[in-house]
Amino acid sequence: MINFNYETEFIIEDELRISDWILQTIKQEGFKIEEVNYVFCDDDYLHKLNKEFLNHDTLTDIISFDYSVGKIIQGDIFISVQRVEDNANDFNVSFSEELNRVIIHGILHYCGYKDKSEKDAKLMRNKENHYLSRLL
């Protein structure tokens, strides 16, 4: 089950379409879903979480808390809509494209993909692009 929650005025336009896309991604990666909660918020909200739970005093676009067990995915994904908007401007892409990239990025982490090394980040980006192409 995919749940969308809002701590800001932003709302996803087509929750069903995005939810189906996420579920298909999980299935194609060989996983099953228990529950994933997306929480869309602002920079202040996510900054507080980043400091409290990760001891990082920085802004970020996404924080995910992974409670998955084996191939069963469950977790909470917090996304700063403000940060996504700023990143979209910085990367010269649409807000929608950047938002969808961040949405699927969190799921790919739950599927075991990392992004700390250059090699891992490249694989993550390729996977993001692959699944973004399936949504458009």
Mean pLDDT score of the chain: 93
Note whether 103 and 22 are within 8 A (CB).
yes
Would you kindly state where each structural domain of the chain is located, as residue ranges? 2-135
pLDDT at residue 129, rounded to an integer: 94
Q: Is 105 annotated as a binding-site member?
A: yes
Q: The CATH number of 2-135 is which of 3.40.390.30, 3.40.50.300, 3.40.50.2300, 3.30.300.30?
A: 3.40.390.30
pLDDT at 56: 82
Q: Which of 27-31, 49-53, 117-121 has the lowest mean pLDDT?
A: 49-53
Q: 98-124: per-residue pLDDT in tens?
A: 999 999 999 999 999 998 899 999 999
Residue 55, number of CB atoms within 10 A of its CB: 7
Residue 115 annotated in ligand binding: yes
Judge whether residue 136 has pLDDT over 80: no
The annotation status of 56 as a binding-site residue, yes or no, is no
